[in-house]
């Protein structure tokens, strides 16, 4: 009870306030593996009880194994894994192409992004399912766009 609540006429028992670990519905009983509703006064097993199912937490992998796995997972991929070609318009604007058939999707990136933001989409669009073409370029000052005088 908080200090400001002391001396007030509020009666928790009359309001039906119960302890947090009391089970009131059949859902809690099913979670405990008891298969049905339980009496409102029956309490859930303590989380510190070693026999409780939620205390079985797998041990984490060793730090070095985890670090090497993440290092390979997050290495940057080359644009050639997603797009088929790259040409430079006027030597400053990179234009990436993926696929040569079907519908043409012109992808325009937002602020702070680049043409390569659409790399995964380009791979999907040029694939056997869609057989389409994806074209994307870098706006001024983004990605591989080259400006001599910003």
pLDDT in tens, 84-136: 999 998 888 899 999 999 999 999 999 989 999 999 999 999 999 999 999 99
CA 114 and chain centroid, separation: 21
Lowest mean pLDDT among 7-21, 38-52, 73-87, 102-116: 38-52
The answer to whether residues 135 and 86 touch, using CB atoms and an 8 Å cutoff, is no
CA distance 136 to 142: 12
pLDDT at 10: 63
pTM of the model: 0.51
Q: Which residue has the higher pLDDT, 111 or 148?
A: 111
Most confident of 37-46, 60-69, 77-86: 77-86
For the CA atoms of 48, 52, 56, 57, what is the dihedral angle to 10 degrees? -50
Residues 6+ apart with CB under 8 A from 77: 119
| Token pair 């039906």: residue | 16
Which residue do the tokens 């933001």 mark? 117
pLDDT, position 146: 74
């Amino acid at each position: 009870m908080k200090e400001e609540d002391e001396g007030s006429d509020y009666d928790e028992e009359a309001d039906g306030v119960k302890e947090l670990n009391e089970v009131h519905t059949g859902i809690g009983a099913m979670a405990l593996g008891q298969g049905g509703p339980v009496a409102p006064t029956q309490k859930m097993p303590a989380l510190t009880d070693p026999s409780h199912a939620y205390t079985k937490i797998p041990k984490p992998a060793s730090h070095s194994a985890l670090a090497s796995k993440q290092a390979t997972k997050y290495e940057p991929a080359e644009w050639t894994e997603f797009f088929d070609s790259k040409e430079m318009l006027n030597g400053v604007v990179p234009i990436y192409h993926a696929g040569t058939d079907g519908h043409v999707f012109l992808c325009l990136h937002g602020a702070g992004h680049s043409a390569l933001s659409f790399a995964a989409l380009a791979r999907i669009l040029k694939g056997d399912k869609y057989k389409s073409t994806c074209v994307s370029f870098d706006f001024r000052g983004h990605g591989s766009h080259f400006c001599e005088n910003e």
